[in-house]
Amino acid sequence: MSDPIHVQLTRRAWLAGVGLAGLVGCGRNQPTVESLPADAPLRFPGKVPMRALNHRPPCLETPWRYFQTDLTPNEAFYVRWHLQVLPNPIDVPSWRLRVDGHVERPAAFSLDELRRMPAEEVIAVNQCSGNSRGLFQPALPGAQWHNGAMGNARWRGVPLRHLLERVGLKAGSVEVAFEGMDRGGLPSVPNFVKSLPVDRARDREILVAYSMNDAPLPLLHGFPVRLVVPGWYATYWVKSLESITVLTGPCDNFWMKTAYRIPTTANAVEKPDQLAKVTVPIHRMNVRSFFTLPETLSPQVGKPVELNGIAFDGGSGIARVEVSTDGGTTWQAGELGPDLGRFSFRRWYWTWTPQAVGEQRLLVRATSTTGETQPLTEGWNRAGYMRNVIEAVRLEVRA
C-alpha cells in the first residue's frame, strides 16, 4: 500500500472544522488563517513521505507502517498546526519562556536555563482530538484524518510544576494558560492559547519538553519547547511555547470556549438530529486499540501466524486486549508486551490459526485497568472527536 502525498481540504472545510466564526481572545495578540494552496505533491523538511491533509498550516498523517515500533520516529510523527505562520527562524539566544500572571515572582527562562533544571521523562501518546474523523458517518467537516493522527514518543523536559513553584502561585489562581508562537495571517484570528485547571497543571507528569525521542525537539513538533500533557488530547500540547500565564478565572478565548468542546454524554456521543445542549472542553483520551500488521502478511490456512498491534488510553493503563474472529460474538485474550508506562502504547500479540480459505475479518478491542472498553458500534458527535469504535482488519487467507 502506498502513502499518497496530497492536499485534500478546501479552505471552507478547514474553516468549518475549527469554527472560526465569533472569535474571542485570551492571548496577548490576535492573528489567523489564509487560503490553502492548490492540490500538489508536498515534502516537508525532516519528514518521510506522509499523507498531507493541509500544507499551510501543515497537517501530516503518519504512515501506518511506522506503528510497528513502540516509539514513533520523529521523521514519521504526525503534524498538526492550527495557524499558518510557524515560528521560523527562532533566535534561540534571545528567546525566553515567560511565566507570569497571578504569581509572586514573574520570570523568563532561556532554553539553556530550562535544560539545566532537573529534568524528567515520560513516554506518552500524542493524539489529535479529531484522529479518525474521516471515518465518521455521517461525514463531518474538518481535517479528514484516517487513524494516523497519533504517535508515541519519549518526551524529556522540565516538570511544569517546578516552574510554577519558582514563580509562586498567588491565592485565587484558577487556571494556567499556554500560548504558542505560531501566528495567523489575519488580525481576526486569535493566537493559539489553551489552559489547564491549576490542579491539573501541577500534576507530576506534565512537562515543558525540549526533547523528543532523545533528540532536540524538531521545529514541526514545537521547537524550542512544547507542553506535554500525558493522557489528554493533543490540543493541550501547545507547541513552540512563548508564555505561561496564571489566571484568576477561566480562559474564555475561542480555543477553550468555542473550539474543542464535546458533549457531556458518555463517550461524547450525540445524534446528528439531536445535538447535545451542554458541552465541555475535550480532555482525557478514551481507550483504543489497533492492528499494526505488515502489508505483506499472507496467512495460510491451518498454519499459525502471529498478529500484533497497539493499545492505549488516557493513563489508566491497559488491562487486556482481545481478538474476535466471529464478529464480536466471542473474544480471545492476546498477550500484552512490555509496559512502557501508563501513557504509552502497549504492544499486544495474538497467535491465529486460520481455519478457512478466503477473506477473514478480525476485530480487536482493549480494556483499561478501570474497566473502560471499546464499543462495537460507532459513536458520533458533531466535531468528529474521540472515535474509539472496535477496529477491524480483513485478511485474505490462502490455501
The answer to whether position 277 is within a domain reads no
Do residue 171 and residue 91 come from a single domain?
A: yes
The answer to whether position 281 is within a domain reads no
Query: Quick check: 80 pLDDT over 60?
Result: yes
Supply the range of the domain harboring residue 368: 288-397
Contact 123, 343 (CB under 8 A): yes
- For 263-283, write each residue's pLDDT tens digit: 999 999 999 999 999 999 999
Per-position b or e across 84-112, b if 16+ CB within 10 A of its CB? bbbbeebeeeebebbbebbbeeebebebe
Which CATH number does the domain housing residue 89 bear? 3.90.420.10
Query: Quick check: 106 pLDDT over 50?
Result: yes
The answer to whether position 72 is within a domain reads yes
Q: Which residue has the cell 498523517?
A: 61
Least confident of 13-22, 49-58, 82-91, 327-336: 13-22
Do residue 43 and residue 171 come from a single domain?
A: yes
The rounded mean pLDDT for the chain is 90
Question: Quick one: pLDDT band at residue 225, thresholds 50, 70, 90?
Answer: very high
Phi, psi (rounded to 5 degrees) for 362:
-115, 145
Query: What does the angle CA 207 – CA 211 – CA 215 come to, to the nearest 5 degrees?
Result: 165
d(CA 315, CA 343): 5
Least confident of 17-26, 91-100, 150-159, 356-365: 17-26
Identify the pLDDT of residue 170. 98
Do residue 103 and residue 193 come from a single domain?
A: yes
Share of the chain above pLDDT 70, in %: 89
Per-position b or e across 275-309, b if 16+ CB within 10 A of its CB? ebeebebbbebbbbbbbbbeeeeebeeeeebebbb
Do residue 253 and residue 184 come from a single domain?
A: yes
Do residue 304 and residue 245 come from a single domain?
A: no
Identify the pLDDT of residue 42. 55
Question: Quick one: pLDDT band at residue 238, thresholds 50, 70, 90?
Answer: very high
Question: Quick one: pLDDT band at residue 122, thresholds 50, 70, 90?
Answer: very high
Do residue 163 and residue 294 come from a single domain?
A: no
- For 132-175, write each residue's pLDDT tens digit: 999 999 999 999 999 999 999 999 999 999 999 999 999 999 99
Identify the pLDDT of residue 71. 98
- For 366-389, write each residue's pLDDT tens digit: 999 999 999 999 999 999 999 999
The answer to whether position 82 is within a domain reads yes
- For 281-309, write each residue's pLDDT tens digit: 999 999 999 999 998 899 999 999 999 99
Do residue 28 and residue 132 come from a single domain?
A: yes
The answer to whether position 265 is within a domain reads no
For the four alpha carbons of 332, 386, 147 and 314, in that order, the dihedral sign comes to negative
Which CATH number does the domain housing residue 374 bear? 2.60.40.650
The answer to whether position 307 is within a domain reads yes
Least confident of 32-41, 131-140, 186-195, 318-327: 32-41
Query: Quick check: 329 pLDDT over 70?
Result: yes
Do residue 104 and residue 236 come from a single domain?
A: yes
Across residues 121-132, what is the average pLDDT?
98
Phi-psi group of 348: left, alpha or beta (phi > 0 → left; psi -120 to 50 → alpha; rest → beta): beta
The answer to whether position 62 is within a domain reads yes
Do residue 381 and residue 319 come from a single domain?
A: yes
d(CA 154, CA 344): 9
Contact 364, 289 (CB under 8 A): yes
Question: Quick one: pLDDT band at residue 21, thresholds 50, 70, 90?
Answer: very low
Do residue 362 and residue 292 come from a single domain?
A: yes
Do residue 54 and residue 154 come from a single domain?
A: yes
Total structural domains within the chain: 2
Across residues 326-351, what is the average pLDDT?
98
Do residue 237 and residue 329 come from a single domain?
A: no
The answer to whether position 267 is within a domain reads no
Share of the chain above pLDDT 90, in %: 85
d(CA 40, CA 56): 12
Identify the pLDDT of residue 16. 30
Q: Does the global pTM surpass 0.85?
A: yes
Among residues 313, 386, 389, 385, the alpha carbon closest in space to that of 344 is found at 313
